[in-house]
């Protein structure tokens, strides 16, 4: 961790990976002077916010030039728990904004090229005047409890033997609570109530916002849809299967359940 006030990090990304300095043995976000080595101007980047009183920027590296001086590009999953929270959150924001910048280039109304808005995080069509904001796709993630047990499911896209809480994207016209009820019903055939907000997590792969909830079983026996979900079961806190790592809000939800039910044991 580098909290030297003279250090002003810059977030350079290529192919969804962040440029980090590995020369000290621990990955750190390089100083802004490195942007000059790549011939990049902050005017072409996006402001992420201040750190130690100085604005930090996100910039895309497009060339194939290899980074110098013990630097390399690492995926953000590898940097979770390695960078401090402030820098990690900035890297997540950088990934989301630069991905939007790369993929949102033409007006979705008339097909004309877009230009960046001067003052806000948006792009403008000079032909029809439409304004395009970065897309954020809300998805719910929900831990369902039944007495002392938690509902965990194996999704077909998961690594082998991994079980987690249920998740799904919000559809037009739904409240987040509607999404929770529909997803749980569709994926495992269970009705839930007492839906409570837990927390949220930006998930820039590519543009999700994960919104976490807890809920209680109301009715129905588990019947996995055998499409997205291949198996689902009730587990106690002392008999859990393989669960996700600490990176995700799904793990935070499961840890909340474990803490609640293992207390005093
Ligand atoms: Zn247009």
* Alpha carbon of 109 to ligand 1 centroid (Å): 5
- Quick one: pLDDT at residue 5? 41
* Alpha carbon of 233 to ligand 1 centroid (Å): 49
Q: What percent of the chain has pLDDT over 70?
A: 96
- Quick one: pLDDT at residue 6? 43
* Alpha carbon of 242 to ligand 1 centroid (Å): 49
- Quick one: pLDDT at residue 33? 87
Measured CA to CA, the distance from residue 210 to residue 241 in angstroms comes to 23
How far are the Cα atoms of 89, 186, 189, 200 from residue 196, in angstroms, in the given order? 25, 20, 20, 12
Other Cβ atoms closer than 10 A to 258: 16
* Alpha carbon of 110 to ligand 1 centroid (Å): 4
Check pLDDT > 90 for residue 3.
Answer: no
* Alpha carbon of 117 to ligand 1 centroid (Å): 14
Contact assessment for residue 88 and residue 79, using Cβ atoms and an 8 Å cutoff: yes
Classified by CATH at the fold level, domain 137-262 comes out as Nucleoside Triphosphate Pyrophosphohydrolase (3.90.79)
Check pLDDT > 70 for residue 263.
Answer: no
70: left (phi over 0), alpha (psi -120 to 50) or beta: left
* Alpha carbon of 106 to ligand 1 centroid (Å): 8
Query: Which helix (H) or strand (E) covers residue 86, if one does?
Result: helix 85-103
* Alpha carbon of 105 to ligand 1 centroid (Å): 11
- Quick one: pLDDT at residue 228? 87
* Alpha carbon of 129 to ligand 1 centroid (Å): 6
- Tell me the pTM: 0.86
Listed in sequence order, the residues at least 6 apart from 125 whose beta carbon sits closer than 8 Å to its beta carbon are 107, 109, 110, 112, 114, 131, 132
Domain ranges across the chain: 11-102, 104-135, 137-262
* Alpha carbon of 126 to ligand 1 centroid (Å): 7
- Quick one: pLDDT at residue 242? 95
pLDDT, mean of residues 177-194: 97
* Alpha carbon of 114 to ligand 1 centroid (Å): 8
* Alpha carbon of 124 to ligand 1 centroid (Å): 8
* Alpha carbon of 115 to ligand 1 centroid (Å): 11
- Quick one: pLDDT at residue 86? 92
Mean pLDDT (the chain, rounded)? 91
pLDDT, mean of residues 220-247: 93
Measured CA to CA, the distance from residue 161 to residue 141 in angstroms comes to 19
Q: What percent of the chain has pLDDT over 90?
A: 75
pLDDT tens sequence across 20-78: 999 998 999 998 888 888 888 888 899 999 988 888 999 999 877 777 779 999 999 89
């Amino acid at each position: 961790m580098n909290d030297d006030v003279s250090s002003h990090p810059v977030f350079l990304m290529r192919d969804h990976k962040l440029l980090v300095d590995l020369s000290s043995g621990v990955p750190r976000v390089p100083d802004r002077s490195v942007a000059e080595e790549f011939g990049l101007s902050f005017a072409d980047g996006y402001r992420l916010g201040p750190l130690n009183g100085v604005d930090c920027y996100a910039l895309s590296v497009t060339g194939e030039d290899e980074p110098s001086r013990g630097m390399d590009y690492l995926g953000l999953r590898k940097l979770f728990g390695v960078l401090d929270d402030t820098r990690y959150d900035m890297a997540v924001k950088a990934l989301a904004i630069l991905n939007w910048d790369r993929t949102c280039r033409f007006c979705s109304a008339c097909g004309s090229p877009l230009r960046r808005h001067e003052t806000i995080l948006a792009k403008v069509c000079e032909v029809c005047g439409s304004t395009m904001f970065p897309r954020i796709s809300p998805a719910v993630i929900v831990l369902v409890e039944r007495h002392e047990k938690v509902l965990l499911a194996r999704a077909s896209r998961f690594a082998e033997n991994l079980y987690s809480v249920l998740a799904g994207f919000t559809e037009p016209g739904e409240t987040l609570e509607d999404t929770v009820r529909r997803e749980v019903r569709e994926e495992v055939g269970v009705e839930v109530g007492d839906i409570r907000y837990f927390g949220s997590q930006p998930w820039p792969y590519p543009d999700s916002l994960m919104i976490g909830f807890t809920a209680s079983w109301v009715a129905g026996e588990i019947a996995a849809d055998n499409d997205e979900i291949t198996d689902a079961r009730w587990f106690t806190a002392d008999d859990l299967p393989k669960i996700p790592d600490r990176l995700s809000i799904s793990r935070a939800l499961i840890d909340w359940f474990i803490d609640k039910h293992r207390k005093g044991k």
